[in-house]
Amino acid sequence: MYNGAILIGAGETRAADTFTAVNPTTGAAGDVAFSNAGPAEVAKATALAAAAFEVFSTTSLDARATFIETVADNILALKDDLVATANAETALPLARLQGETGRTVGQLKMFAAEVRAGLWLDATIDPAMPDRAPLPRADLRRVNVALGPVAVFGASNFPLAFSVAGGDTAAAFAAGCPVVVKGHAAHPGTGELVARAIQQAVASCGLPEGVFSYLPGTSNELGGALVSDPVIKAVGFTGSRGGGLALMKIAAQRAEPIPVYAEMSSINPVVLLPGALAARADAMGPAFVGSLTMGAGQFCTNPGLVIAIDGPDLDTFVASAAKALTAAQPAVMLTPGIHASFERGVEELASHAAVITVARGCVGDGVNQAVGALFTTDATKFTADEALSHEVFGSSSILVRCKDIAEIKTVIAKLEGQLTATIQSGDGDEAAAGELLPVLQSKVGRILFNGWPTGVEVSHAMVHGGPFPATSDGRSTSVGTLAMARFLRPVCYQDTPDTLLPPALQAANPWGIARRTNGVLELGK
Ligand code: NAP
């Protein structure tokens, strides 16, 4: 169970200043007093993380993978408690939370397998060439090493898969980095349960206690102190653009600036091409609304923008989407603050002179409920006001009517960076899709055909990233095994005695990993 403690290494402590969880369905405060961690707890946690770094970053591949698997098993053992607690704290449905537990556990196990495979080390050997003329070449051996202790900010919209033991934490552990989590105040009981599961795994695997600490809290001061701490070498964050930018600024102003991998805002354009509209305009309406309203629209990949060429087929799609949205039930949002911000965003669009409201969802009688919203405008008006392309976090979308493919291209070219773009295509659309792909590719991290953007597979090839402001650094991903790369850096050893080299680079290849020698890939055992 949880009791509102701050978990620092193997210990737990309490603070005089406390906060309570809020049940968003009722608006009622919970009865557990959660400690508000502050700068003093940050200092203790990071000191332990610094002390743990050398041992944790140099474990064998098997020891590190076993630790990550133990975290997964401990979380699985808590499943019923976890799902019930998260349901009360976030209002996310039980089935969704059961699925998210599976995703969290599966994600950890995938990172464990990735650690064992060893490809992430990118072990590369250029043997010495003593006889090369005019100059001999030294023996050069490169390997990826852990960056250092990482600060992770739990996300509100994935209380399991993107929070305490979510993708950022799993990737940092896999890379060999101790983690200090700033817990999200929207699900403190859930956060503490998971944190205790990790704390137990650290102990049972015999790792130094500073591999993990958990700092719950509600103050910006806590997050600021964590990012400013000189021990911290990188930050993983999912949340608002304002929050991400604030942390990036703190990181950049440190005596030693560090990278902040922040996933922030995206409206995930969906382009409906003429062939798709001709073939299935009516069927696409409910499918789109399903994606828009799923989870009260609280997905970073929510389809907040639809772009298409005007005409009767588009009218059919709009009528079909409006019908589906009008019947859509309201859903409770994660927090009163997120709900208030959704209402504000929808009101700004509804009262905008260039925007027409197409449909709203059903209104309920509970608190903090998102009522879906679909708006429309044309390309000229959309591109004239940047505010129309700002993310409204929740089930709100705007449809932009264009004259032709060239105008669709202009609309896309004006967008900021995005996590995803979707093309709905049908017969005769190949040339148009081919014309749009270069501009889409320059804007997004993932391009989908004939699907809907919500739903992100955790896999090796996944990219859940994209140019700013989708993320702070479009060269990386926060979902999938490539996420480890954010917490690694390359080191080259020159003419180093074999016994002093890291195992990944030793002549006998004791870990049996794949390596490149003189540029040629040699498969491992
Ligand atoms: P948030 O306000 O950005 O908060 C996320 C985390 O960052 C919290 O732990 C918060 O802690 C911390 N934080 C925020 N601003 C900070 C600052 N200036 N200094 C230090 N720490 C800071 O996100 P949220 O509470 O999850 O949701 C609010 C809004 O974020 C939503 O309405 C939505 O617009 C956006 N959001 C986007 C995504 C996405 O996937 N793109 C996901 C979730 C939310 P404290 O507030 O306790 O200090």
Provide the residue ranges of all domains of the chain, joining segments of one domain with +.
Answer: 7-17+36-264+476-486, 269-449
DSSP string, 242-276: HHHHHHHHHHHTSSS---EEEE-----EEEE-HHH
Cα 395 to averaged position of ligand 1 atoms, centre (Å): 18
433 contact partners, CB below 8 Å, separation of at least 6: 273, 423, 425, 449
Which residue stretches of 352-476 are H helix?
A: 379-384, 405-414, 430-441
Question: Dihedral angle at the C-alpha atoms of 389, 390, 396, 398, nearest 10 degrees?
Answer: -10
Among 114, 192, 300, 407, the one annotated catalytic: 300
Does residue 148 contact residue 233 with C-beta atoms inside 8 Å? Answer: yes
Burial (Cβ within 10 Å: 0-12, 13-18, ≥19) of residue 221: middle
Q: What is the pLDDT of residue 150?
A: 98
Q: Is the CB of 454 under 6 A from ligand 1?
A: no
Q: Is the CB of 360 under 6 A from ligand 1?
A: no
Rounded Cα gap, residues 337 and 487, in angstroms: 32
Instruction: Show the tokens assigned to 233.
Output: 């070498």
Query: Catalytic site residue 407?
Result: no
Cα 498 to averaged position of ligand 1 atoms, centre (Å): 48
Alpha carbon separation from 222 to 41, 45, 215, 226, 252 (Å, rounded): 9, 12, 8, 6, 17
Which residue's C-alpha comes closest to atom 15 of ligand 1? 243
Q: Which helix (H) or strand (E) holds 370?
A: strand 369-370
Q: Is the CB of 219 under 6 A from ligand 1?
A: yes
The dihedrals phi and psi of 134, each to the nearest 5 degrees, come to -80, -15
Cα end-to-end distance, the chain, whole Å:
43
Q: Is the CB of 239 under 6 A from ligand 1?
A: yes
Q: Is the CB of 46 under 6 A from ligand 1?
A: no
Q: Which atom of ligand 1 is nearest to the CA of 186?
A: 25
Instruction: Show the tokens assigned to 337.
Output: 């603050």
Cα 234 to averaged position of ligand 1 atoms, centre (Å): 18
Q: What is the pLDDT of residue 429?
A: 98
pTM above 0.75, yes or no: yes
Counting as low any pLDDT under 70, the low residues of the chain are none
Q: What is the pLDDT of residue 524?
A: 84
Q: Is the CB of 420 under 6 A from ligand 1?
A: no
Nearest to 317 by CA among 436, 392, 426, 421: 426
Q: Is the CB of 338 under 6 A from ligand 1?
A: yes
Rounded Cα gap, residues 451 and 454, in angstroms: 9
Burial (Cβ within 10 Å: 0-12, 13-18, ≥19) of residue 253: exposed
Instruction: Calculate ∠ Cα 269-270-276, nearest 5°.
Output: 160
E strands, 95-161, are 124-126, 140-146, 150-153
Cα 284 to averaged position of ligand 1 atoms, centre (Å): 33
Location of structure tokens 């049908």: 426
Residue to mutate, 156, 418, 479, ligand 1, most ligand atoms under 8 Å from C-beta: 156
Q: Which atom of ligand 1 is nearest to the CA of 246?
A: 18
Cα 283 to averaged position of ligand 1 atoms, centre (Å): 36
Q: What is the CATH number of domain 7-17+36-264+476-486?
A: 3.40.605.10
Greatest Cα pair distance in the chain: 83
For residue 143, the one-letter residue type is V
Q: Is the CB of 227 under 6 A from ligand 1?
A: no
Q: Is the CB of 393 under 6 A from ligand 1?
A: yes
203 contact partners, CB below 8 Å, separation of at least 6: 10, 209
Alpha carbon separation from 36 to 137, 221, 301 (Å, rounded): 57, 11, 31
Hey, how many other C-beta atoms are within 10 angstroms of the C-beta on 510?
Answer: 10
Q: Which helix (H) or strand (E) holds 94?
A: helix 94-117
Rounded Cα gap, residues 375 and 359, in angstroms: 7
Which residue's C-alpha comes closest to atom 14 of ligand 1? 243
Q: Is the CB of 246 under 6 A from ligand 1?
A: yes
Superfamily of domain 269-449: Aldehyde Dehydrogenase; Chain A, domain 2 (3.40.309.10)
Nearest to 45 by CA among 262, 193, 217: 217
Q: Is the CB of 243 under 6 A from ligand 1?
A: yes
Q: What is the pLDDT of residue 525?
A: 78
Report the relative pairing of strands 11-13 and 18-19 from DSSP bridges. Answer: unpaired
Query: Catalytic site residue 114?
Result: no
Reported as a single tens digit per residue, the pLDDT across 260-290 is 999 999 999 999 999 999 999 999 999 999 9
CA neighbours closer than 13 Å in the CB half-sphere of residue 208: 21
Cα 238 to averaged position of ligand 1 atoms, centre (Å): 7
Rounded Cα gap, residues 216 and 89, in angstroms: 15
Cα 249 to averaged position of ligand 1 atoms, centre (Å): 15
Does residue 35 contact residue 20 with C-beta atoms inside 8 Å? Answer: no
Cα 200 to averaged position of ligand 1 atoms, centre (Å): 28
Which residue's C-alpha comes closest to atom 4 of ligand 1? 239
Hey, how many other C-beta atoms are within 10 angstroms of the C-beta on 142?
Answer: 18
Does residue 2 contact residue 31 with C-beta atoms inside 8 Å? Answer: no
Which residue's C-alpha comes closest to atom 39 of ligand 1? 300
Instruction: Show the tokens assigned to 408.
Output: 């669709």
E strands, 14-53, are 18-19, 34-35
Rounded Cα gap, residues 173 and 207, in angstroms: 12
